[in-house]
Chains A and B, each alone.
Chain A
Amino acid sequence: MKKLVISIVLLNLLAACASQKPKEAAAPAPAPAPVAKAAPAAPAQTAVDPLNDPHSILAGRSTYYPFDVSVVQAADKPLVEAHAKYLSQHPDRKVRLEGNCDERGSAEYNLGLGQRRADGVMKMLEAGGAKASQLSAISYGKEKPRALGHNEAAWAQNRRTDIDYMQ
Chain B
Amino acid sequence: MLRILSGTLGLLMLAHSAVSNAALSIEIIGAGEHQIPIALVPMGGDEKLGAQINDVVTSDLTRSGLFRIVDSAGKSPHETADVNFNDWQLRGADALGIGNVSVQNGRIEARFRLLDVVKHDQLLGEAVSASDSQMRAVGHRIADLIYEKLTGDKGVFSTRIAYVNRQPKSYSLIVADSDGYNDQVVLKQREPIMSPAWSPDGKSMAYVSFETGHAAVFVQSLLSNRRRAVADFPGSNSAPAWSPDGKQLAIVMTHDGSSQIYLINPDGTGLRRISFSGAIDTEPNFSPDGQSILFTSDQGGSPQIYQMPASGGAPQRLTFASGNSFSPRYSPDGKSFVFANLTGGQFYIAVQDLQNGQMQTLTEGGWERKPSFAPNGKIILFASEARGRGILATVSSDGRVQQHMFTQSGDAREPVWGPQP
Contacts and interface: CB of A to CB of B under 8 A. Distances in A.
A68 B302 contact: yes
Contacts of B235: 115, 119, 137-139
B289 to A, nearest CB: 24
B369 A108 contact: no
A147 B415 CA distance: 24
A144 B191 CA distance: 9
Contacts of B413: 107
Contacts of B327: 106, 108
B255 to A, nearest CB: 10
Contact of A108 (B210, B282, B324, B345): B282
A105 interface: yes
Given A136-B234, A138-B213, A138-B235, A108 B296 contact: yes
A109 B280 contact: yes
Contacts of A113: 280
B412 interface: no
Interface centre among B234, B282, B345 (most CB of A within 10 A): B282
Contacts of A137: 235
Interface in A19-77: 68
Interface residues of A, number: 23
A111 B215 contact: yes
Contact of B259 (A68, A111, A138, A143): A111
Which of B210, B214, B257, B324 has the most C-beta atoms of chain A within 10 angstroms of its own C-beta? B214
Interface in A112-167: 112-116, 119, 136-141, 143-144, 150
Given A112-B258, A140-B210, A107 B414 contact: yes
A106 B215 contact: no
Contacts of B215: 111, 138-139, 141
A16 B413 CA distance: 52
Contacts of A104: 342, 345
A138 B210 CA distance: 10
Interface string B254-267: 10011100000000
Contact of B370 (A106, A114, A138, A143): A106
A140 B324 CA distance: 21
A137 B234 CA distance: 8
Contacts of B369: 106-107
A139 B303 CA distance: 18
A136 B413 CA distance: 29
Nearest to A103: B367
A138 B216 CA distance: 11
B416 to A, nearest CB: 12
A143 B208 CA distance: 12
A109 to B, nearest CB: 5
Contacts of B210: 140, 143
Contacts of B234: 136
B65 to A, nearest CB: 27
A160 B246 CA distance: 37
B338 interface: no
B58 interface: no
Interface in B182-232: 192, 194-195, 208, 210, 213-215
Contacts of B302: 68
A90 B414 CA distance: 42
B260 to A, nearest CB: 9
Contacts of A115: 235-236, 254, 258-259
Nearest to B280: A112
Contact of A105 (B214, B258, B342): B342
Contacts of B370: 106-107
A113 B282 CA distance: 10
Contacts of A111: 194, 208, 215, 236, 238-239, 259, 282
B254 A150 contact: no
B116 to A, nearest CB: 46
Contact of A119 (B254, B283, B326): B254
B324 A112 contact: no
B293 interface: no
B350 interface: no
B254 A112 contact: yes
A80 B254 CA distance: 22
A68 B302 CA distance: 8
B236 A109 contact: no
Contact of A138 (B236, B367, B414): B236
B392 interface: no
Nearest to B328: A106
Contacts of B342: 104-105
Given A112-B258, A137-B235, A140-B210, A105 B282 contact: no
Nearest to B367: A150
Contact of B283 (A109, A138, A140): A109
Contacts of B252: 108, 112
26 contacts: A105-B303, A105-B324, A106-B296, A106-B327, A106-B369, A107-B414, A108-B238, A108-B296, A109-B282, A109-B283, A109-B296, A109-B298, A111-B194, A112-B236, A112-B252, A112-B254, A113-B280, A116-B258, A119-B254, A119-B257, A138-B215, A138-B235, A138-B236, A139-B236, A139-B254, A141-B215
Interface of B: 192, 194-195, 208, 210, 213-215, 234-236, 238-239, 252, 254, 257-259, 280, 282-283, 296, 298, 302-303, 324, 326-327, 340, 342, 345, 367, 369-370, 413-414
